[in-house]
Structure 1
């Protein structure tokens, strides 16, 4: 039996999910413009475990959305996940946020290139393009009319995530498709987390750090 608690706090959405052997058991999620993760996260975890009559000591691992994303949100999620892992003596699994977002959309759009986007302020986004489970490198992009020319010339691309909202007017190519209002979710981490658990791909609790936006946006609060 493999019982994993997944935590995702990289954007305005604060979400937790409980999974058993790679299948969703239950989840709690809320999008807040105030980034109130510090008040929400521990409450969500306690409520989720209570709802399923699960104790923290029953967990086999904690999975954390590792970014890129908000410095504040990632710091809160990571410190909470590390604390639970230390207290219970269980491993930490890191899931890149864009990978999880693509995982959550691929079954609905099997023939499209998938481009999850996380808002990096101004006209910048963090993004990667996925097709047939292969991904381009994660990078910060300044979006303009010439962005994604190669990908769009090769076929349909689905742009989604909170960064896609501000790109819709710029990317007017007939192969550009949009799903707005999509946020990273702990539920989308489950399949990847289970595979990593089975392969013992764990993080070093003492040294693990998430992928903050701060290196790209020096001096900008997120």
Structure 2
């Protein structure tokens, strides 16, 4: 599956959020600007998400309203991914916004220092008991351009064989910007949540 990038400057006000990992990751884009925010919150997503979103809009000088919401669909803990999805769906109902989903793994495609990659990369999240939930993507300009190996749960050993020789990013904080750009480029309206 190959995707085409969408320019951020032409996009409507878009909020991206992910609660699938121990991090609460947010991004907000509007014509002419973008803000990102991420913090390790453990299991306190439900307590932190509303305040963090309001603060992000306030810092951007925008009214608390978006036309599109991008949700990281996991994999993640059962409670974690459902907190983000429930919050996004609630906002969408109030705002009349579209909600699109992208795998949380797409938020890991950027390197540890926010380096934009233009190559194939392997990404994974720990699925416990020697397993990972991993994928291999071709990345251009910091976002997924093609799915080479779709996200799936597999043994760490099998995934390391598949990822041999590729840059490999795992278990970090998802990038709000990468999630937002992926949502604009190829977010799915018929998304489903994935659990570790």
TM-score (norm 2): 0.80
Structure whose alpha-carbon radius of gyration is higher: 1
Structure 1 unaligned blocks of 5 or more: 163-181, 214-222
Structure 2 unaligned blocks of 5 or more: 1-10, 140-144
Shift of 1:100: 3.1
Q: More strand per residue: 1 or 2? A: 2
Q: C-alpha separation between the residues in 2 aligned to 1:9 and 1:30?
A: 11
Superposed, 1:48-63 pairs within 5 Å as 48-57=56-65, 59-63=66-70
Given the alignment of the two structures, is residue 187 of structure 1 paired with residue 192 of structure 2, yes or no? no
* Aligned residue number for residue 30 of structure 1: 39
Q: C-alpha separation between the residues in 2 aligned to 1:120 and 1:109?
A: 25
* Aligned residue number for residue 189 of structure 2: 202
Given the alignment of the two structures, is residue 96 of structure 1 paired with residue 103 of structure 2, yes or no? yes
Q: C-alpha separation between the residues in 2 aligned to 1:96 and 1:16?
A: 15
Given the alignment of the two structures, is residue 14 of structure 1 paired with residue 21 of structure 2, yes or no? no
Aligned mate of 2:14, from 4, 26, 38 = 4
Q: C-alpha separation between the residues in 2 aligned to 1:151 and 1:28?
A: 29
Deviation per CA, 1:113-132: give whole Å up to 9, x if none.
31111111221110011236
Greater RCO, 1 or 2 (C-alpha within 8 Å, sep 6+): 2
Count the aligned residue pairs.
Answer: 178
Match of 1:116, SS state, is: strand
Shift of 1:195: 2.4
TM-score (norm 1): 0.71
